[in-house]
């Protein structure tokens, strides 16, 4: 087995500006195994890297000599971490960030892919590669065994003739995929998909990597149940961590005079929310922004923010992402403005909301979730 970038300093990689903690890592055994098995194939013209968490795959290939690497990372914090790590290792300029579309994979002969957990996300990625990459493309798709399933082989087998599994190493495995299957592609765009939610009446559009797909997750639905009657009047609102844009669309549909900014760091979420707003006829009043929290929003500018925060970072249950969003909301809210949040009751976020935003009252509670409203201190 050839060595991937001999001596590449994986230990120097950081997750910053994403949450950093002793149990959260910037690279893992799957990154190393992918780089090792790909070997010299990373030097093929037009290398594509998809799903590189914090730059381990891209920068190991660049250290070996790859240039002009096309990289897609769903998370904006992942892009920023890659750039920071590249600067620290003097590897800036070896790659370029790309959207998940035909231009990313067009003509590619080698693709390094961190397997997404969502089969829909894998379906969207595999379909793009099969349709637009070089006919002799080789895809090295890897992950940690605890996150891999036989269903992933089946999804890939729907687009490629050959799917071969490597031996496991340090609880990681790589699937080597070849021979795109022309019959797998269909005319017209396959993504985003959409469906109508019978309870809210909203059309929901979703790309493969968007959380909850074309359904409404139960936390968001609980928050939706109290929005119409209880949320104060506002001229502008922010859907923070908007996902597929359900809350943004619901607010805009219910309040014709309201303008909404929907933000998310996920490229799939932003594309989905944009499509959801259009499908519900409110694209003229919903502006969707890919942002790290509310980084692009001015201080004291928001009258109303709605939020269903994540409680996982990757596979780890971690409150770090939610706490960052609370702090962002506290900065961006105007005095007297309110943050409406739905959260898993066992997480006990009320004290954190009080610290970051201001006085917090309970609006609703059921067996699993709590909805609170936090008012920004004058």
Query: For the segment 218-276, what is each residue's pLDDT rounded down to a tens digit?
Result: 999 999 999 876 677 889 999 999 999 999 999 999 999 999 999 999 999 999 999 99
Joined together, the tokens standing for residue 296 give 């692009």
DSSP string, 55-98: SHHHHHHHHHT--SEEEE-SBHHHHHHHHHHHHHTT-TTSEEE-
Query: For the segment 49-61, what is each residue's pLDDT rounded down to a tens digit?
Result: 999 999 999 999 9
Q: Is 334 exposed, middle or buried (0-12, 13-18, 19+ CB in 10 A)?
A: middle
Joined together, the tokens standing for residue 360 give 């917090």
CATH fold of the domain at 10-184: Rossmann fold (3.40.50)
Q: Which residue has the higher pLDDT, 319 or 217?
A: 217
Tell me the whole-structure pTM to 2 decimals.
0.93
Distance CA 134, CA 138 (A): 9
The pLDDT of residue 230 is 64
**304 φ, ψ (degrees, to nearest 5):** -145, 130
Domain ranges of the chain: 10-184, 193-375
Is 57 in contact with 31 (CB distance < 8 Å)?
Answer: yes
CATH for 193-375? 3.40.50.150
**Residue 4: band (very low, low, confident or very high) from pLDDT cuts 50, 70, 90:** very low
Query: Is it true that 10-184 and 193-375 share their CATH fold?
Result: yes
Of 79, 157, 167, nearest to 122 (Cα)?
Answer: 157
Query: For the segment 154-213, what is each residue's pLDDT rounded down to a tens digit?
Result: 999 999 999 999 999 999 999 999 999 866 556 667 899 999 999 999 999 999 999 999
């Amino acid at each position: 087995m050839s060595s991937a970038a001999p001596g590449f300093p994986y230990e120097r990689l950081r997750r910053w500006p994403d949450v950093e903690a002793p149990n959260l890592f910037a690279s893992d055994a799957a990154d190393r195994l992918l780089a090792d098995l790909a070997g010299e194939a990373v030097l093929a013209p037009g290398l594509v890297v998809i799903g590189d968490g914090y730059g381990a795959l891209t920068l190991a290939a660049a250290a070996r000599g790859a240039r002009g690497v096309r990289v897609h990372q769903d998370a904006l914090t992942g892009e920023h971490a890659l750039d920071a790590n590249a600067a620290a290792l003097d590897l800036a300029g070896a790659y370029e960030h790309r959207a998940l579309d035909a231009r990313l994979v067009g003509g590619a002969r080698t693709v390094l892919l961190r397997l997404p957990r969502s089969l829909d996300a894998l379906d969207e990625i595999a379909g793009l590669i099969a349709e637009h990459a070089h006919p002799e493309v080789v895809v090295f798709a890897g992950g940690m065994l605890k996150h891999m399933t036989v269903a992933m082989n089946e999804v890939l087998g729907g687009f490629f003739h050959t799917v071969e599994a490597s031996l496991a190493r340090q609880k990681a495995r790589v699937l080597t995929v070849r021979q795109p299957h022309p019959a797998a592609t269909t005319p017209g765009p396959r993504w985003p998909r959409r469906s109508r939610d019978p309870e809210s009446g909203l059309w929901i559009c979703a790309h493969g990597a968007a959380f909850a797909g074309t359904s409404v997750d139960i936390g968001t639905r609980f928050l939706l149940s109290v929005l119409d009657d209880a949320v104060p009047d506002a001229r502008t609102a922010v859907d923070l961590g908007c996902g597929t844009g359900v809350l943004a669309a619901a607010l805009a549909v219910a309040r014709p005079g309201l303008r909404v900014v929907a933000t998310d760091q996920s490229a799939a979420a932003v594309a989905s929310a944009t499509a959801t707003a259009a499908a519900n006829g409110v694209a003229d009043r919903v502006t969707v922004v890919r942002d790290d929290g509310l980084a692009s929003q001015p201080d004291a500018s928001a009258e109303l923010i709605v939020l269903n925060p994540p409680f996982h970072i990757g596979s780890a249950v971690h409150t770090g992402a939610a706490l960052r969003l609370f702090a962002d909301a506290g900065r961006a809210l105007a005095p007297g403005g309110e943050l409406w949040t739905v959260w898993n009751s066992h997480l006990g976020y009320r004290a954190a909301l009080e610290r970051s935003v201001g006085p917090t009252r309970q609006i609703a509670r059921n067996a699993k979730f709590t909805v609170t409203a936090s008012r920004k201190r004058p």
